[in-house]
A and B are shown apart, each in its own frame.
Chain A
């Protein structure tokens, strides 16, 4: 799309400001003490559940939304102690089944990614090294936290392949949006190094695929995992055709310690990387402010043809992996804002890919809410 319709922008800003104002009025931005933040987070969670049971916010029309999942993803066994476990996907799928949302989604069968698409992002030596490590049955790869098993390579190829299939389904018009419930996650994976439980950079492979297979000129990536997607940033930091936006906990406090707000891209890619950093405990307040001030104008200027999302649910107050204390409401705001952007800029084309999120009790609800936004069941 060449220009953003003025009405959409106005409506969007009106909504955003309105939300923002409601938050201020309800006193939810008083983050002077942590206890109140936690209380607010829990309170809003109860509210959301109430809404979910009564279906208050749901509307009738639903966008065709793809859901990518395969049991093979469970075979990537990281061991008992590991937070990035197959249980994460099990609870997500069970949650979606129980809520009845799963049957409303279009199931898309994943296929292993053709290695040429993995090579569009990763060094061929790295791919072979990873394959060998799995085949030899080594316990971990590149760092002791990157647990692997013999099936990990297969699962990783299928995770990247799931994203590729999601993009295909959108491009041929089978679905309008898609959520990829895949693992292992991807956004920490560098060109030639596995990091932070990630082996193949699923979102980066997806972006390259959208460009080379479907002729998408500009791809916008929005990464709301609480950790900075160092891999994705480094892969695209010199590339002006892919905009990488990430919002995450301040790198002085959170893994991996990159993604400071002065990292804006390199050489020709200067200006198409943007990082919003959130100090501990500042979740709802700062997510609203930074997304509105940083992401919207940047994407409006960049005019992406497609939006890919690195969806991490570990910023929530109940997730011990981070300290930003985003609430369930806060997550709704993030999803809503992404959908509004997509509706205005990319005809609603969004592929959202699971990254982190480790609180098994809350993860299903957060994913369900996110998918409801993708499906237009919420917030429109």
Chain B
């Protein structure tokens, strides 16, 4: 999955000499929290987040006269004064996996996407990532989740998929989690079906264990003394 499929290209950008007041209104009106700043030719030069904005604002603890006076002054500064120069950025050929790790590492809520020459092409926010994962998990479509415990050896997934296929059921997604028990894997197929009874019975017959998610949850709870 590449970011180019997931980024927003309907861009709202600002020039470095835009007044903070204007930018504030723009972000409020368009309900965005990250504003990429580009030069006149479309090259990325910085990013302004709502946190940058807030830290530039005068404290509301001030009395109203000095608050208003300071606010007026602040609003007249340009974005160049508060923007993050050389922000964390990604390239159009990055993958969604890259972005997950980048966002976790740099703790940012959105990253601008640029091409090799530094021209701004899009922006990818945590919200876009969330939609990507709703898609990947297939949970936009009606279906049901199975929770299967299987031995951690080759060929188990094939058995599961074979049974699902023989029951003529489409797969929305399959997640595999690190073992809940030693030498075992938990497999979570999301089946696009309302008819899970037969497939569950057949999986049990084939030697798989269907886990009870709540049992697992209770096992994790701190034990009472």
CB distance from A166 to the nearest CB of B (A): 25
* Contact of A34 with B212 in the complex, beta carbons under 8 Å: yes
* Contact of B144 with A254 in the complex, beta carbons under 8 Å: yes
* Contact of B194 with A197 in the complex, beta carbons under 8 Å: yes
Which residues of chain B from 165 to 179 have any CB-CB distance to chain A below 8 Å in the complex?
A: 168
CB of A196 closer than 8 Å to a CB of B: yes
Partner of B142, one of A230, A253, A280: A230
A255-B143, A257-B143, A320-B201 known; A281 and B196 CB under 8 Å? no
Task: Determine the distance from Cα of A45 to Cα of B104 in the docked complex, in whole angstroms.
Answer: 52
CB of A159 closer than 8 Å to a CB of B: no
* Contact of B212 with A323 in the complex, beta carbons under 8 Å: yes
Task: Determine the distance from Cα of A282 to Cα of B218 in the docked complex, in whole angstroms.
Answer: 12
A144-B168, A280-B213 known; A32 and B218 CB under 8 Å? yes
Partner of B194, one of A227, A279, A319: A227
Which residues of chain A are near B6, meaning CB under 8 Å? none
Partner of B195, one of A145, A188, A258: A145
Which residues of chain B are near A323, meaning CB under 8 Å? 212
Encode contact with B along A313-343: 1 for CB under 8 Å, 0 otherwise: 0000001110100000000000000000000
* Contact of A280 with B144 in the complex, beta carbons under 8 Å: no
Which residues of chain B from 142 to 169 have any CB-CB distance to chain A below 8 Å in the complex?
A: 142-145, 147, 168
- Give B192's nearest chain A residue, CB to CB: A143
Encode contact with A along B193-215: 1 for CB under 8 Å, 0 otherwise: 11111101100000000001111
Encode contact with A along B125-148: 1 for CB under 8 Å, 0 otherwise: 000000000000001011111010
Task: Determine the distance from Cα of A227 to Cα of B193 in the docked complex, in whole angstroms.
Answer: 12
- Give A256's nearest chain B residue, CB to CB: B142
A144-B168, A188-B194, A320-B196 known; A255 and B142 CB under 8 Å? yes
* Contact of B214 with A320 in the complex, beta carbons under 8 Å: no
Task: Determine the distance from Cα of A253 to Cα of B193 in the docked complex, in whole angstroms.
Answer: 12
* Contact of A83 with B143 in the complex, beta carbons under 8 Å: no
Which residues of chain B are near A282, meaning CB under 8 Å? 214
* Contact of A81 with B198 in the complex, beta carbons under 8 Å: yes
Task: Determine the distance from Cα of A249 to Cα of B195 in the docked complex, in whole angstroms.
Answer: 14
Task: Determine the distance from Cα of A311 to Cα of B215 in the docked complex, in whole angstroms.
Answer: 28
Encode contact with B along A21-56: 1 for CB under 8 Å, 0 otherwise: 000000000011110000000000000000000000
Which residues of chain A are near B213, meaning CB under 8 Å? 253, 279-281
* Contact of B194 with A258 in the complex, beta carbons under 8 Å: no
Which residues of chain B are near A195, meaning CB under 8 Å? 142, 194
A-B contact pairs, 11 of them (CB 8 A): A33-B218, A81-B198, A144-B168, A195-B194, A197-B194, A252-B139, A254-B145, A255-B196, A279-B217, A320-B197, A323-B212
| 3 closest cross-chain pairs (CB), A and B | A256-B142, A320-B197, A281-B214
Query: Could you list 16 further interchain pairs (A-B, Cβ under 8 angstroms) beyond the known A81-B198, A255-B144, A256-B194?
Result: A31-B218, A34-B214, A83-B195, A188-B142, A253-B147, A254-B145, A255-B142, A255-B193, A257-B141, A257-B144, A279-B213, A279-B217, A281-B214, A320-B196, A320-B198, A321-B197
